Amino acid sequence: MTPVGARLSEKLSCPVTKVDDCVGDEVAKAVASMPNGSVCLLENTRFYKEEEKNDSDFAKKLAGSATIFVNDAFGTAHRAHASTEGVTKYCKTNVAGFLLQKELDYLDGAVSNPERPFCAIVGGSKVSSKIGVIESLLQKTDKIILGGGMIFTFYKALGKSVGASLVEDDKIDLAKELMAKAEAKGVKILLPTDVVVADKFAEDAKTQIVSVDNIPEGWMGLDIGPDSLKAFQGELNECKSVIWNGPMGVFEMDAFAKGTFGIADTLANLNGITIIGGGDSVAAVEKAGLADKMSHISTGGGASLELLEGKVLPGVAALDEACT
């Protein structure tokens, strides 16, 4: 945390005392000698195995002589660790910081009571990592756009040939169930109609744009095609609220980034609420240079996913319990 201390001192325009531990006598002495208005920065709690075990004795030591605990780390709020959940039991007042509150307002508040039409864009490589998110969003959205490697599991569920594209064979029945649930709830599921395929997973691969009904044997889909992007953009332009989690393709390679960047550009110019729900979507928006055009960019990958799934975040629940 030493470099953080130096930067913090610059931002606050005051000296920041950095202690090389987070518990123990050195910390106690540093805190006891602090004049009013001064800042003391402790070392990373992860150097102690007790942190991730949420050890109560360690949490009590962390609390030390503190009276107020402010949790502003949304990215770790989904973990019941000593510094996120355990410490609240030993501090008199436990509150959310401005960033954590903003995350909750957008990811929980805005998603639970969105301005409609409300669309979710869900991408990424695997269906398995987004099952909970899709099922939860089926209860809240008007339409869901699917992209990324996960679409090929859905295509196979629809009886299409997907060449050498990524498929989770054990999730084919699940893909069928998700599409059936969407239909039953009147939620529009939008899959790409064309894809960019490559003969290998590499920047210098041979590529071609094909219909999803004509993916060549031995070729793999690595991005959505131009017709799909145009159709998705049309759907998004009708929306007042959009949440995006997961890229449309392998955007890290320029040859397969057009779909993802095209979606990012559309959201940047949308007249509505745009929420980027953590993970690779954030990296994509930042790489496209459009981060400042979005309503909210989440700082937590796992935390944002769990919140969107409707799960209780231990770090947040601890604050609520301590405040009631």
- Tens of pLDDT along the chain (324 residues)? 999 999 999 999 999 999 999 999 999 999 999 998 899 999 999 999 999 999 999 999 999 978 899 999 999 999 999 999 999 999 999 999 999 999 999 988 878 899 999 999 999 999 999 999 999 999 999 999 999 999 999 999 999 999 999 999 999 999 999 999 999 999 999 999 999 999 999 999 999 999 999 999 999 999 999 999 999 999 999 999 999 999 999 999 999 999 999 999 999 999 999 999 877 999 999 999 999 999 999 998 888 988 888 889 999 999 976 544
Locate 41 and state its tokens. 């920065």
Q: Do domains 2-100+313-323 and 116-271 have the same CATH topology?
A: yes
CA distance linking residue 102 with residue 229, whole number of Å: 31
Q: Which two tokens stand for residue 170?
A: 């054990």
How long a stretch of residues is the chain? 324
Contact yes or no for 16/40 (Cβ under 8 A): yes
pLDDT at 323: 47
Q: With H, G, I as helix, E, B as strand and everything else as coil, classify residue 272.
A: coil
238 is written with which tokens? 């009708």
Q: Which of 74, 111, 77, 97 is nearest to 299 (CA)?
A: 74
Domain ranges of the chain: 2-100+313-323, 116-271
**Measured between alpha carbons, how far is residue 311 from residues 128, 181, 297, 317 in Å?**
17, 20, 20, 11
CA distance 154 to 169: 10
Global pTM reads 0.90
Task: Please say whether the dihedral angle defined by the alpha carbons of residues 304, 310, 314 and 319, taken in this order, is positive or negative.
Answer: positive
Which helix H or strand E contains 208, and what residues bound it? strand 207-211
How far is it, in rounded angstroms, from Cα 142 to Cα 251? 27
AA letter at 307: L
**pLDDT given for residue 65 in this prediction:** 78
| Euclidean distance between CA atoms 305 and 322, whole angstroms | 24
CATH fold label, 2-100+313-323: Rossmann fold (3.40.50)
Q: Roughly how many angstroms between the first and final C-alpha of the chain, as a whole number? A: 33
Sign of CA dihedral 257, 295, 232, 301: positive
- CATH ID of 116-271, from 3.40.50.1000, 3.40.50.1260, 3.40.1190.20, 3.40.50.300: 3.40.50.1260
Write down the pLDDT at residue 321: 61
Residue 274 Ramachandran class (φ > 0 left, ψ -120 to 50 alpha, else beta): beta
